[in-house]
Amino acid sequence: MALRRNKLPRFWLGITLGLVTAFLGATYWWERQLPQKLEQAGARGNLDSCLLYSDQLEALRWLGGSAPQEQGQCRRLKAAQLWQQEQWLAALRLQVQLVNSPAGTPADQRQFEGWQTELQTRALDRFQQGDLGGALKLLAVIGEDHNSTGTAAGDNFKEIWARNQQQLQRAKKLVAEARWWEALDGLNRLDHPWFRGQAQPLQAKVQAGINKMAAHEREHDGHGSLPHTVPADQLDAQVQARLAKGMDEWSAFKAACKGLGGKVVEAGPESACQR
């Protein structure tokens, strides 16, 4: 019985070593088959199988095998396919793997950078078309939707959007109060194309209000109740020129009136430039 017990550990050790040896042998054999399978899958255009074999070959590199060019070509083609399918994140992740692998080339690095630039361009286009949410989703793919310092492209987009939104709401309020020149100044400060498009009906209403105010002043002048009114088109041009230089609306109106030889007087609930 003692002799039999002494033989048992050697028996199990032999089995264990045999299994390990068999496993290593099978793994080594499979690693040797992978380059050929990679090449065949790539030739058939079966990119998913090619990518699977590529990942397996990458995992088995500790056995001393090299990374064939087919491995890089497989990732290259699959990344391009994903990009065409607008699977931006998956495409970029695969392209990064390619760039960081021995099969990566400077051209692969340039492609990666080019895709990042393309996403930024797409995001800017969506933002200018009024799709802030869509723009931020695209920027999130490359980590540009937000950062802790507030300097990401997405942070800039949100700041521009909020400023224009606030300016448009203020202009609407001023129009409701018939404060035409102040409303005009607010509309002129819009610097986002989508908001400028949204403001066009309001812009027309403001211009109509300014024209009506000028006509009202000319009517008073015809009855002799008020001094002569400066030409409305000249006044408007002078105000616009000063607004473009950064003056606020009230200062621009007063300076324009003075520049045309007039003075600001009250005409009912509105201000007028008379001379």
The per-residue pLDDT for range 211-227, each reduced to its tens digit, is: 887 666 555 544 444 45
Q: Looking at the structure, do residues 19 and 85 belong to the same domain, yes or no?
A: yes
Q: Looking at the structure, do residues 167 and 244 belong to the same domain, yes or no?
A: yes
> Does any domain span residue 142?
no
| Distance from C-alpha of 124 to C-alpha of 25, rounded to nearest angstrom | 55
Which of 69, 104, 139 marks a domain boundary? 104
Give yes or no for a contact between 139 and 145, defined as CB atoms under 8 angstroms apart. Answer: yes
> Does any domain span residue 40?
yes
Mean pLDDT of 34-57: 59
Q: Looking at the structure, do residues 99 and 162 belong to the same domain, yes or no?
A: no
**Which band of pLDDT confidence, cut at 50, 70 and 90, is reported for residue 151?**
very high
Which of 42, 74, 104 marks a domain boundary? 104
**Which band of pLDDT confidence, cut at 50, 70 and 90, is reported for residue 30?**
very low
Domains of the chain: total:
2
What is the percentage of the chain residues whose pLDDT exceeds 70? 66
Q: If you ran DSSP here, which 8-state letter would residue 228 be given? A: P
pLDDT in tens, 101-112: 888 899 999 999
> Does any domain span residue 134?
no
**Which band of pLDDT confidence, cut at 50, 70 and 90, is reported for residue 137?**
very high
Mean pLDDT of 153-169: 96
> Does any domain span residue 166?
yes
Predicted local confidence at residue 260, as pLDDT: 83
The winner for highest mean pLDDT among 68-77, 181-190, 230-239, 261-270 is 181-190
Token couple for 199? 């403001």
Spell 157-174 as b/e; 16+ CB within 10 A means b: bbeebeebeebbebbeeb
Which of 70, 86, 104 marks a domain boundary? 104
Predicted local confidence at residue 56, as pLDDT: 63
> Does any domain span residue 144?
no
> Does any domain span residue 222?
yes
Mean pLDDT of 2-29: 49
> Does any domain span residue 30?
yes
| Distance from C-alpha of 119 to C-alpha of 113, rounded to nearest angstrom | 10
Q: Looking at the structure, do residues 79 and 163 belong to the same domain, yes or no?
A: no
> Does any domain span residue 122?
no
Q: Looking at the structure, do residues 91 and 26 belong to the same domain, yes or no?
A: yes
Q: Looking at the structure, do residues 169 and 249 belong to the same domain, yes or no?
A: yes
Domain that holds residue 18: 2-104
